[in-house]
Homo-oligomer: A and B are copies of this chain.
């Protein structure tokens, strides 16, 4: 699984957990609205400074946006 897809999923999850719209997050992180949309769809490999800005805007750790931690990947033998 590509890191940008992991990031895409984590970003959307974290944003929704905070109850923010893409536009609100975009404004907080000073990033273009449509670019946030692209990131959540896994279109781009974001640079670490946008990841950093997003983490700050979401008040979470950078690691939380890039973690591959799975919840439903228990191998059933």
| A interface residues with partner B (beta carbon < 8 Å) | 2-4, 7, 45-49, 51-52, 61-63, 66-67
Contact A48–B46 (Cβ < 8 Å): yes
Contact B45–A45 (Cβ < 8 Å): no
Contact A47–B49 (Cβ < 8 Å): no
24 contacts between A and B (CB under 8 A): A2-B49, A3-B48, A3-B49, A3-B52, A3-B62, A4-B48, A4-B49, A7-B48, A45-B47, A45-B48, A46-B47, A46-B48, A47-B47, A47-B48, A48-B48, A48-B66, A51-B66, A52-B66, A61-B63, A62-B63, A62-B66, A62-B67, A63-B67, A66-B66
Contacts of A3 in B (CB 8 A): 48-49, 51-52, 62
